[in-house]
């Protein structure tokens, strides 16, 4: 990333003088938590001085904007600094209830941790899932599938489910968030051999669902 000449002096004072740069900081996490059975966007605000290298001949400075951000064990956001350190990403329902640290590591190895900054409370799960009938498909060609939560929580379920097709590859392997207990997901099933397959779904709590068999051609 190249920056205008007018800010070279400030960058060099901050990142090129040989002085130790301050550690990054996790300023805020919004929301600071949610139930395990929900999903949606989370915004983490960071503060950091990025390391820079000045090219005096060219009148530019190169910024090392590499970034690794995690909520608990799960990678979160892009792999580089963006939007002035305000990182918003979709967090699926993949974290069991508990407290999770939010950690950030910059490209030069500086690390910050906000201890117990994201709290996951016990979820309210459906008893299982149904999958609408899937017609004949072609390997490697995307198609839509409708998944419905069933049971006491079906009207309010807003989490995600895992996807698998025994004997084949399916992408994505994790859906986006349900809305009012329903998720329409575009998936791609890739097979080595044409034949009859089925789609399995399951959530973090182990509640299952399975489609009827469908044929996949090549």
Question: For residues 5, 87, 175 and 71, what is the CA-based torsion angle, rounded to 10 degrees?
Answer: 130
- Do both 114 and 93 map to the same domain? yes
Q: What is the pLDDT of residue 20?
A: 87
Query: Using 50, 70 and 90 to split pLDDT, how confident is the model at 53?
Result: confident
- Do both 110 and 94 map to the same domain? yes
Asked which of 96, 121, 146 is the last residue of a domain, the reply is 121
Q: Is pLDDT at 71 greater than 80 in this prediction?
A: yes
Q: Is pLDDT at 21 greater than 80 in this prediction?
A: yes
- Do both 173 and 194 map to the same domain? yes
For residues 133-140, give the mean pLDDT: 98
Q: Is pLDDT at 6 greater than 60 in this prediction?
A: no
Domain residues for the domain of 153 are 128-217
- For 99: left if phi > 0, alpha if psi spans -120 to 50, otherwise beta; the answer is beta
Mean pLDDT for the chain? 90
For residues 166-179, give the mean pLDDT: 97
- Do both 83 and 150 map to the same domain? no
CATH number for the domain that contains residue 42? 2.60.40.10
Asked which of 95, 121, 147 is the last residue of a domain, the reply is 121
């Amino acid at each position: 990333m190249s920056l205008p000449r007018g800010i070279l002096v400030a960058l060099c004072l901050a990142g090129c003088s040989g002085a130790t740069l301050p550690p990054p900081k996790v300023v805020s996490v919004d929301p600071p938590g949610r139930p395990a059975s929900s999903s949606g966007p989370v915004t983490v605000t960071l503060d950091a001085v990025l390391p820079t290298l000045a090219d005096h001949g060219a009148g530019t400075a190169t910024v090392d904007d590499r970034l690794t951000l995690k909520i608990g064990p799960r990678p979160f956001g892009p792999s580089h600094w963006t939007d002035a350190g305000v990182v918003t990403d979709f967090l699926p329902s993949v974290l069991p209830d508990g407290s999770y640290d939010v950690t950030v590591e910059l490209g030069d190895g500086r690390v910050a941790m906000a201890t117990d900054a994201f709290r996951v409370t016990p979820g309210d799960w459906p008893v299982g899932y149904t999958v609408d009938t899937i017609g004949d498909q072609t390997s490697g060609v995307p198609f839509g599938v409708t998944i419905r939560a069933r049971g006491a929580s079906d009207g309010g379920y807003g989490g995600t489910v895992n996807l698998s097709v025994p004997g084949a590859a399916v992408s994505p392997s994790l859906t986006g968030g349900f809305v009012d207990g329903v998720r329409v997901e575009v998936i791609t099933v890739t097979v080595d051999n044409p034949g009859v397959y089925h789609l399995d779904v399951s959530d973090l709590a182990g509640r299952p669902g399975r489609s009827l068999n469908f044929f996949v051609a090549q």
